[in-house]
Structure 1
Amino acid sequence: MKIRALAVSLTAAAVLAAVGLSLHAAMDTDVQVEDGGGLRISEDLQAADLSRDEYVAAASQHVFHGTVIRKTGEQHTGGNGDLEQQWLVEVDRAFKGDARGTITVNTTATDQDGDIIPDPGAPAVEPGKSYVFAGMWGEDPDRYETYGGAAGVHASNGLTQPDPETGPRADRAKHHTVEQRWSWAVEHARPGPDTDAATEDDNQSG
Structure 2
Amino acid sequence: MTLKRKAVLIAAGAVLAVTIGVAGTAVYQHENERDAASASGMELTYNADFSDDANLAGEAEDLFYGKVTALKGQKDLGIGAETQYAVEVQRVFKGDVTGTIVVNQQGGKDADGNIVDLPDGDALIQVGSRYLFATKYNSDQKFNTVIPVYGDVPIPNTEADAPGSPDANGDGQSTMSDRWVAAVQDQNDLSTAPPADEPTEEPADDPTPEASPTESS
TM range (shorter): 0.5 to 0.7
Using the size of structure 1 for normalisation, the TM-score is: 0.64
**Aligned partners of 1:109 and 1:146: how far apart in 2?**
11
Deviations 1:150-171 (A, max 9, x none): 22111011111135xxxxxx98
> 1:27 Cα deviation (Å)?
5.2
Task: Please tell me whether residue 62 in structure 1 is matched to residue 62 in structure 2.
Answer: yes
Q: Which has the higher helix share?
A: 1
Q: Does structure 1 retain, via aligned residues, the 8 Å contact 2:9–2:41?
A: no
Number of aligned pairs?
161
% identity of equivalent residues: 26
What stretches of structure 1 of length at least 5 have no aligned partner?
1-20, 32-38, 164-169, 198-206
Report matched runs for 1:113-192 at 5 Å: 114-116=113-115, 118-148=118-148, 150-163=149-162, 176-191=174-189
Distance 2:123 2:156 in 1: 12
The one-letter amino acid paired with 1:121 is G
**Cα distance between partner residues in 2 of 1:181 and 1:134:** 14
**Are residues 171 and 103 of structure 1, via their aligned partners in 2, closer, same or farther at CA, if it must alter by over 3 Å?**
same
Relative contact order higher in (CA < 8 Å, ≥ 6 apart):
1
Q: CA deviation at 1:109?
A: 1.9
What RMSD, in angstroms, separates the aligned Cα atoms of the two structures?
3.4
In the alignment, what sits opposite 2:93? 95
Structure 1 residue 126: deviation in Å?
1.2
Would you say the 8 A contact 2:44–2:59 is kept in 1?
A: no
Unaligned runs of 5+ in 2: 19-39, 167-172, 198-217
Q: Name the SS of the counterpart of 1:105 in structure 2.
A: strand
Q: Distance in 2 between matches of 1:119 and 1:22?
A: 20
Contact map agreement 2:13 2:106 (CA 8 A) in 1: no
Residues 28/108 of structure 1: CA separation in 2 closer, same or farther (3 Å cut): closer
Structure 1 residue 77 displacement after superposition: 4.9
Is the 8 Å Cα contact of residues 165 and 178 (structure 2) preserved in structure 1?
no
> Which of the two has higher C-alpha Rg?
2
Instruction: Return the TM-score normalized by structure 2.
Output: 0.62
CA contact (8 A) 2:88 2:101 kept: yes
Stretch moving more, 66-75 or 130-139? 130-139
d(CA) in 2 for partners of 1:56, 1:94: 15
